[in-house]
Every structure is written in structure tokens, then in C-alpha cells.
Chain A
Amino acid sequence: MSAVPPILEVHQAGKRYGGVMAVQGVSFDVLPGEILGLIGPNGAGKTTLVNLISGVTQPSEGTVAFEGRPLAGMRPHQIGRLGIARTFQVVRPFANLTVLENVAVGAMYGAGGNKRSASEAMRLAEAVLEFVHLAPRRDDPAESLPIAGRKRLEMAKALAMEPRLLLLDEVMAGLRGTEVDQAMDLIRAISARGITLLIIEHVMKVIIGVCNRVVVLDYGKKIADGTPAEVTANPAVIEAYLGKRYAKAHQADA
């Protein structure tokens, strides 16, 4: 397809919980520099897939490779140091640390952490807080932030790890209109820094607004892969989201 090797290759990945396949035979590539959206109805296996990539759970089958290196058997901290950072859908701030310290932990232990002292990490953290517009709250305890602030903090912690691939798990959920716009600007700014993004999102406006390409999951399987325009016109996708009857009516209209 293109001469550039993909930054992330997911090949036939599957995850079984008990007798249920939460994810099954999913394959896709992420190209360097792109913003790939990962969408699907609730329970489609999106977060499971992010867990597989970040090493939080091990795949039952299939492989995941980052920059050509297979991630099988690696622990999350190894993957984090390799250059993949992620956020959690339910944010996990270090509640009793200050906002600055939260971010500094990412700078201490992320991809660039080894060569950095604690005080250098603090300086990098300040720069990241500036970038995500959280600098005024730097000395407040993380638990004092409102939800939008916490989502930003979650991104700042991941960014401070200096990842080459950033996985964002529903960072828009719970945000209001203007906050969503600000967060979209932030995602574009992150992308402009050369960081590849894989974003899980429910808000279609965000997917259409920022993504170059979209992968759609339904019941743990990939049902579509293409540009936002292609995907939103895809009958299988519409069916997955809105049910069979609506999909037929939609096609009849078209």
C-alpha cells in the first residue's frame, strides 16, 4: 500500500474471557503520523483491544507488533518504555500527588525516563502542563481537578512519557461542548508534534473531525476500515450502530 512501514501491526488478535471472545481475529495497521479512530457499539471490544496493545492483558491468540517488534509476553511497563502510552477510560490520577507530580511520573519512567533525573522530569512535566493548558493548577492535588481537567491530566501523564504512539480511551466522555472542541484542538496539536494516535471515541463529531482513518469493531470483530466518510456510509456499520431495520431504510433512502 505505502512504502512507510506501519508503526503498529495488529494481526488476528483475539482475547477470550471464559467462553466469550471479547475480541476475535482483529487485524489492522497504524501508520506513522496518522490519527486512527477505533469505534464500535458498547461492548464491541475496543477497550479490550487497547488493553492488548498496552500489555494490560495478554492476547489469547494473534500478535501485536510495535515498530516491527512483537510485544508478546511483554509487561505493560516494558511496552510503556518502548514508546506506547495510553489513557484509561475511567481516569486514574495519582489522587494525593499534585498535578505536576502526576505528570512528572510519566517523564521519569516513560520512553525517555531512563536518561532523565527527577528534577529534569519536573521541568519536562511543566512544559507538558503548559502544552495541555493545566499549568495554573500545577500545585493542586490531582483529586481537586474537575472532570475535564482530569481528562487533560490523563493525557498530560501519557504525553510526558514521550510516546511515539498514544492510545486515547474515550477522553471526550463526560465533556461539554466547548470542552470537546478544546480537546479536539489538543489532539490535533499532539498529532502535529509527530505522535501517532489511536483514539477510541463515541462522539462521532470527534471521529469525523480529527481522524484520518477509522476501524469499526462489532461483537469483537472488525467490520469496517476506511476513511470517516467511507465508514459512516458503510451499511454494516450503520446496522451495527442502529439495528437492521434502520440500515435497510437508510439504504432505501440512498
Chain B
Amino acid sequence: MNLAVFVVGIVLAVLAARPLSPPVVRRLATIALVALMLIAPLISNSTSILFDALTAMCIAYGWNIIGGFTGYAAFGNVAYLGLGAFVAAGFMSRQPGHLAWPWFVGIPLSVAIVALVAGAIGMVVLRLRGHYFSIATLGVGVAMPQVITSDALFGPKGLVPNFFGGGLPLNFPLAEDISRGSLTLDADRYFFYGLGLLSALIGWAVTWRLSRSKFGYGLVAIRENEEAAEVMGINTTVCKVYAYMLSAALAALGGAVIGYKLTNMTTEADALFSTTNNLQMIIICLIGGVGTLWGPWIGAFVLFGLQEALRMASNSADFLAWEGVVFALLVVLVVLFLPRGVMLFVATRTRLTWRVFARNLVAHRV
């Protein structure tokens, strides 16, 4: 059933993204897509993979802003994903020393704080370009989990004592199933799925707004030629930092929602800050189409749809064991053969032939 949701979702997203189709079709497809996502928990046997796809999409929308629109190949957004989860947990945890704030306060606050942190880091790393920027951001991704577990900052005698648990494990409060009389609403199926969908829609809406704003055009101009953009009156420094903050904010939003569902931050830290998470947001954009409104949506649905199909076709224990290998292989194949992603076929009149896949290689070989 989830596979069907993914397939129909891809079709609708492609229809909505197609610049060649009439505006009314595009609008209807968008509405139908949202409707599909709203009824999905009613028809799906488990919304778990849909949740994964939607939160990953939100994070990918974030990467798309800095990596796609602005053209700065950031490789450390996983830092903000994880930080978002930890900060939200710090606010929401009901353990002693924490604030036990509700999610609708804790998560937005966490997103804002992460954006500010990213702003400070961005002011330094965005002075770098090319390889230097990429590796510096990669370093941010490597360093962040260590900063969070650092005794000097967050230990019992640290700057913000025990905010991230210190010696104790850091937990989100358990989200309870909602019971009204005989009706029970399962937390995973409805509450977390709803949060996931909300985060994805926020990611989409921010990008939609961006793609038609002056700010968005400024970012694209920076991507295409930074010096020319600067001369044309664009304050490139400020634009880049804002883009980076926005990018980190969406990563934090997705991360906080993922963390909330995982609950125990201390045991899940490695999973949050994983290389897979770091690569996933980029590869989603690549599969769908970097720097486009619908790219992350299509990319996330293709990636997780593929995952679901493989899981169904194989023994699931086997699949879990090989998941990392399959994912890495997919990264290599997409980069080599389809760097413009599905959007190549959606936005242009390119027909799907074998030659299309070789085109990237012919164009860029030495």
C-alpha cells in the first residue's frame, strides 16, 4: 500500500512540476498530492516509511536551498539535523533539569536556535568557496556530535549544564496514543506522521516562496556567477548566510521530528549524525533535480519507494543488512548517469533513452 502511495505521489508531483502542462493541471495535481498525503495514514498498514520519506524530504528541501539554489555544496547539514533533535529534546524532556515544554514550543524554538548557530558558523565558512567550503562544512558535521557530548560545554559543570543529558540519557517525552472513548489514535500512525507531513509541507512552502522571490533570484545569481551577482547589487555575504540559516533550519526541523519519534537521543546519536543521513539529503535532491521546487519531493519518493520495493521483494532482514551498500551504490550511479535527476525528463522534452545516461559522461570526461 505504501508503495502505491509513493508511485501515485511521484506521478502527481511530476504533473505538478511539469512546466509544459497547463497551470490548472499543475494546481490540481498539487491539491491531489496533498489530499493523498492526508488520507495516506488511513489506507496504509504502517506509516513508518512514509514518515521517513517526509522528514528526509524536509531536510532535503533545506539542503536544496544552500546546495541547489545558492550552489554552495554543503556537506555538513547533518550537523544541524542532529543539533535540532538534541536542542528540541533539551527543551521537551521531562527529566530533572529539563523544561518539559510541549512540542509546538520546543521544536520551533530548537529550529530558531539552530538557525542562529548556523548563522554564526556560516559567517565563517561561507567566506570559503569550492572545495574549501565543502570540506569545512563536512568538518562541521564531524565536529558537531563531539561538541554536543563535550563535557566542557554541556557536562555537569559545563556552560549549559546537562542540557544534552550530561551523564544521564536524554529522552524526548513519550508521545501517548490519543484515546477518546472507544476510538484510539495510534501515535506513530497519526501524530508522528502528521508532524512529518507538516515538516515536509513547510519545506515545500518555504521553497515555493523562495523560488519566486527576489531573495531566491539573488541566490541563483550567486550560484551562476558570484562576482557578477555582487556587482549587480546583491549583498552576497548576507544572502549566503541567510540561505545557510534557512537550510539549517529545515534540517533542524526534520531532525527534531525524527528525534522526537526515536525518543532516546543518547542511544540514537550515531544514527542521527550518520553518513547516510548526510548523504541522503543530497542524493534526494540529485535524484529529483537540484535547485528545483519539486526535486526534493520527487527524489524522496523515488528513493524511499525504491527502498520499499526492495524490501518487499527481498527477505527484510537481508535487506537491512545490505541497505548501506545498496544506498552507496545508488549514490554512485546517480552521480554518474543522471546528475540532473528525474527533472531532466520533467522540465525538458528529453526522452528516456540509453544515450541520455551516457550524456553526462561524454560531456565531462577528460
Contact = CB atoms under 8 A, between A and B. Distances in A.
A229 interface: no
B220 A108 contact: no
Given A77-B233, A80-B233, A161-B233, A108 B218 contact: yes
B186 interface: no
A140 to B, nearest CB: 13
B335 to A, nearest CB: 19
A124 B16 CA distance: 29
B217 A113 contact: no
Contacts of B218: 105, 108-109
Interface stretch (A31-39, A58-66, A92-100, A207-215): A92-100
A75 B233 CA distance: 9
Interface residues of B, number: 19
Contact of B214 (A77, A86, A92, A108): A108
Nearest to A167: B231
Contact of B235 (A77, A111, A157): A77
B217 A101 contact: yes
A110 B233 contact: yes
Contact of A105 (B212, B232, B236): B232
A118 B213 contact: yes
A160 to B, nearest CB: 9
A95 B224 contact: yes
A104 B233 contact: no
Interface residues of A, number: 33
Task: Select the residue from A54, A110, A118 with max chain B CB neighbours within 10 A.
Answer: A118
B233 A56 contact: no
A118 B214 contact: yes
A104 B230 contact: no
B231 A56 contact: yes
Given A105-B217, A109-B218, A77 B224 contact: no
Interface in A23-80: 54-56, 75-78, 80
Contacts, number: 78
A161 B224 contact: no
Given A77-B233, A81-B233, A56 B227 contact: yes
A105 B232 CA distance: 8
B225 interface: yes
A88 interface: yes
B228 interface: yes
A220 interface: no
Contacts of A76: 227, 230-231
B126 to A, nearest CB: 15
Nearest to A88: B228
Which of B221, B230, B231 has the most chain A CB atoms inside 10 A of its CB? B231
Given A104-B217, A105-B218, A92 B227 contact: yes
A113 B221 CA distance: 15
A158 B232 CA distance: 7
Given A92-B225, A94-B225, A113 B233 contact: yes
B229 interface: yes
A62 B236 CA distance: 27
16 contacts: A56-B231, A76-B231, A77-B234, A77-B235, A77-B236, A80-B232, A80-B233, A88-B231, A92-B228, A94-B228, A97-B220, A105-B218, A113-B214, A113-B233, A157-B232, A161-B233
Interface of A: 54-56, 75-78, 80-81, 85-86, 88, 92-97, 101, 104-106, 108-111, 113, 117-118, 121, 157-158, 161
Given A76-B227, A94-B228, A101-B217, 18 more contacts: A56-B227, A56-B230, A56-B231, A75-B235, A76-B231, A86-B231, A88-B228, A88-B231, A93-B224, A94-B220, A94-B224, A97-B224, A104-B217, A105-B217, A105-B229, A105-B232, A106-B233, A117-B214
